[in-house]
Chain A
């Protein structure tokens, strides 16, 4: 049963659905990485020093794009009520959706990061730290995305509000994640992972509570 729901979530989020697929956030992410050198000029040193941070900001902005199709369409179509009727806790459904969202958003993002690194002239070492940081941080970002999408589902202008809500909440991930680049140390990565785990642990409950409250 869990498997069937995860399978449907992944297929729906990857694409084929009515609101674009997983490709759009990735293209957006690469577009930001491509625009940055145009804006600051072709100074290789400057790019190499700041490029990692730009990748993090781009990843955060790209995470806003899929928010409106994470929860709202299924809530509208009555899927959540049908799951509740079968005794499936909203928390479970949201945990599954976090995993699906991570698979469909973070994995392609990490695959696209080497391309962004080339565009920004990052070194191999920086790329490795960047990828490790994203690996540690994106689960938290995915969890945050589902929680925020659940809170704003059904609201008028919910999509815009979701974007505004997720950015400040993602600041710890950004600080530790991008910070690990300048120090090159493991401390930043560990803190990113810790912040990420807290978000992963709390988000299913926040999202579940939001969905139940929306029923009343």
Chain B
């Protein structure tokens, strides 16, 4: 996965939800090999910023520049809940033209290789989060946008996610990780959203 040219930069972003200005004058730059931790309390606008960075929402002002494809993990797994996990993931494998070995490696890394026959709706919160993470990682995009990837995960799984993020950045990837929890990844940059609240 050669992604050494990837970057994600945002300049002077302001975000308005309804009548409320959530934050303003926010700039950030994440270059290849870097991981940025968006920190802040619930409701401060982390998810909105993630959606702006992902290009799903237009910022009230400012602009986002990026180089490289993006993969987004948010609170919705985008997996068919009535299907067995293996087949639900197969859909995205086909859409993304992911090599089967890469998906297998990712599934082994997040510890889901034994649950492929289980329908997604029977998975626990943590297992579903890991399934969505597997979908996100297997996409093979240089830019990862992970919105609360640690929610509902046990300590062992949190360590796995941190390791995967570190590995991705060591390979020249870009990662923005929004979480209200502390995250331990070497070389982590931190951005407190509270500093930009107006």
Contacts and interface: CB of A to CB of B under 8 A. Distances in A.
B82 A18 contact: yes
A81 interface: yes
B99 interface: no
Contact of B91 (A4, A85, A215): A4
A168 interface: no
Given A84-B56, A215-B56, A78 B76 contact: yes
Contacts of B69: 86-87
A193 B78 CA distance: 36
Nearest to B79: A77
B56 A85 contact: yes
B82 A17 contact: yes
B65 interface: no
B41 interface: no
Given A17-B82, A215-B56, A216-B57, A81 B72 contact: yes
Interface in A57-107: 76-79, 81-82, 84-87
Contacts of B78: 77-79, 81-82
Interface residues of A, number: 20
A18 B83 CA distance: 10
Interface in B59-82: 69-72, 74, 76-82
B184 to A, nearest CB: 27
A216 B15 CA distance: 11
Nearest to B97: A1
B114 interface: no
A119 to B, nearest CB: 34
B96 A86 contact: yes
A10 to B, nearest CB: 13
A51 B78 CA distance: 45
A8 B91 contact: yes
A41 interface: no
Interface in B14-67: 51, 54-58
A85 B55 contact: yes
Contacts of A216: 57-58
Interface in A1-47: 1, 4-5, 8, 12, 16-18
Interface of A: 1, 4-5, 8, 12, 16-18, 76-79, 81-82, 84-87, 215-216
14 contacts: A1-B97, A77-B76, A77-B79, A78-B77, A81-B72, A81-B74, A82-B72, A82-B78, A85-B55, A85-B56, A85-B72, A86-B95, A87-B69, A216-B57
Given A77-B76, A77-B78, 11 more contacts: A1-B94, A12-B80, A16-B82, A17-B82, A77-B80, A77-B81, A81-B74, A81-B76, A81-B78, A82-B78, A85-B55
